[in-house]
Structure 1
Amino acid sequence: MKLLAIETATEACSAALWLDGDIHERFEFAPRRHTELILPMVDSLLAAAGLRSADMDGFVYGCGPGSFTGVRIATGVVQGLALAADRPVVAVSTLAALSQTLIEHDQPVLAALDARMDEVYWGCYLPADSGMQLQGAEHVCSPETVPLPETRQWLAAGSGWYSYAERLRARLPALDITVVADVWPRAAASVALAARNWTAGRVLTAAQARPTYLRDRVAQVKQST
């Protein structure tokens, strides 16, 4: 199985190849340079492996939540590659990818990305044999209203913990939380999760690829009530 993944929903930019279980990645922390960097990263990975995009079995994109522009970049690039190669795609949550980067610690993860507008993108993930698994649902909300997870030891990661650490800790006083610094969603984590989804048949056509905008979805729900 050969998969190509792109993750550009945060300040970090990355692409990764899954080649029958071996993962190869290009990664750079590069705010506002994703459009400039992502295609050269893809070309570099494919050239190093002696492959073309048409050789891929499928393509993977970090569907968000995250920067609206960044999520659209990943969705658009993967959609274009998949259409050209006539291959399916797999969508992977950016919060899941963030959590998956810490899978070797075998601990649950409180993933929080700065959503701006005084809010965070929030998800609680538990380790499993097949990768990090979402507990409940992902949310966009203020730090004071993040859903309360069960009491246990947690790792915490993501830009939300840089921007709102005191407010998040005040919301979660009963939890034993260790913040892991300098952790970003990465395409290597996305492609590892995507391989699980691929095996389970959870794939989309290129035309079905859509970003995940938690804030938009919440707004639509409020308008309909």
Structure 2
Amino acid sequence: MPNLLALDASSSACSAALLIQRGGGEPRLVSRFALTPREHTRRLLPMVDEVLAEAGLTVAELDAVSYGRGPGSFTGLRIAAGTAQGLAYGLDLPLLGVSTLEALALAAHRRHGVANVVTAMDARMGEIYVAAWRCRDGATEPLLAEAVMPPEQLQLPPADGREGWYAIGSGWSLWEAMPAEVQAAISRRDAEAEPAAEEMVLLAARDYAQGARPAAHETQPIYLRDQVAWQKGK
């Protein structure tokens, strides 16, 4: 297994995670996470230093870098992208972009064992970033493609089995604006959860194992709409 570093600043949270394996043993995951609105620039690189120090690893021992490529805060995405690209360029490493919505889905699955997950992040201006996923055995399968829309327009595919949908992400703070049929399909929801590098590094490891080796200049943030640049900076 490669040594992978992940960074995220796509929301009010800032995080870094490191996945390492040495001597054929079990992989080790080291992470940092903090709610730090407007402090991402100051906090991100120190978090990287902390996870490397805790793991006893140097940047020269990394095999790839990854980051939360969006959707999310325009300012936060640019901070994470710039930091990750700088590391990848400087170390001549591949740079893997990871979906923030998929990271939320994996977080719900890891923490609660849920199979049907609908992820939504507040996109500001009365809209949400949204996607739906089927999760099994630590793997995610997209059922509803990532999109940006007013919450009133959200429609969900049928849930798999009797479980109903687990709703996660800041977009669910707009619950009152969701259609009645969407509300009826939701069994549980967590509007406080933010994307985290801990899940992103696991998703990046999956992609790396499948042969993904994009160069630093090939990996760009995903905004879903140009107007996201107007949203309030983190």
User: Aligned-pair distance for 1:149?
Assistant: 1.9
Given the alignment of the two structures, is residue 126 of structure 1 paired with residue 134 of structure 2, yes or no?
A: yes
Contact between 1:143 and 1:171, CA under 8 Å: does it hold in 2?
no
Contact between 2:64 and 2:88, CA under 8 Å: does it hold in 1?
yes
Residue of structure 1 equivalent to 2:15: 14
- SS of the equivalent of 2:208 reads helix
The within-5 A match list for 1:76-115 is 76-104=82-110, 105-115=113-123
Contact between 1:145 and 1:171, CA under 8 Å: does it hold in 2?
no
- SS of the equivalent of 1:184 reads coil
**Residue number among 172, 176, 199 corresponding to 1:161 in the alignment:** 172
Given the alignment of the two structures, is residue 29 of structure 1 paired with residue 35 of structure 2, yes or no?
A: yes
The within-5 A match list for 1:163-202 is 164-170=174-180, 172-202=182-212
Change (3 A) 1:186 1:137: same
User: Aligned-pair distance for 1:209?
Assistant: 1.8
- SS of the equivalent of 2:93 reads coil
- SS of the equivalent of 1:9 reads coil
CA distance in 2, matches of 1:203, 1:131: 20
User: Aligned-pair distance for 1:177?
Assistant: 2.7
Given the alignment of the two structures, is residue 38 of structure 1 paired with residue 44 of structure 2, yes or no?
A: yes
Contact between 2:172 and 2:190, CA under 8 Å: does it hold in 1?
no
- SS of the equivalent of 1:177 reads strand
With 68-77 and 145-154 compared, the bigger mean Cα shift is at 145-154
CA distance in 2, matches of 1:82, 1:33: 22
CA distance in 1, matches of 2:225, 2:15: 24
**Residue number among 209, 214, 220 corresponding to 2:219 in the alignment:** 209
Residue of structure 2 equivalent to 1:223: none
| Structure 2 unmatched runs, 5+ | 22-26, 229-234
- SS of the equivalent of 1:182 reads coil
User: Aligned-pair distance for 1:150?
Assistant: 1.2
| Structure 1 unmatched runs, 5+ | 219-225
- SS of the equivalent of 1:24 reads strand
CA distance in 2, matches of 1:101, 1:176: 17
Q: Deviations over 1:20-77 (max 9, x none)?
A: 2221101001111110100000011111222221210000110000000111111111
Residue of structure 1 equivalent to 2:231: none
Moved over 3 A (4+): none
Change (3 A) 1:182 1:136: closer
Count the aligned residue pairs.
217
- SS of the equivalent of 1:214 reads coil
CA distance in 2, matches of 1:129, 1:44: 30
**Residue number among 144, 156, 170 corresponding to 1:148 in the alignment:** 156
User: Aligned-pair distance for 1:169?
Assistant: 4.8
TM-score, length-scaled by structure 2: 0.87
Q: Deviations over 1:74-118 (max 9, x none)?
A: 111110000111010111000111111112323211101000011
CA distance in 2, matches of 1:49, 1:204: 25
CA distance in 1, matches of 2:115, 2:179: 18
User: Aligned-pair distance for 1:155?
Assistant: 0.5
User: Aligned-pair distance for 1:174?
Assistant: 4.3
User: Aligned-pair distance for 1:181?
Assistant: 4.7
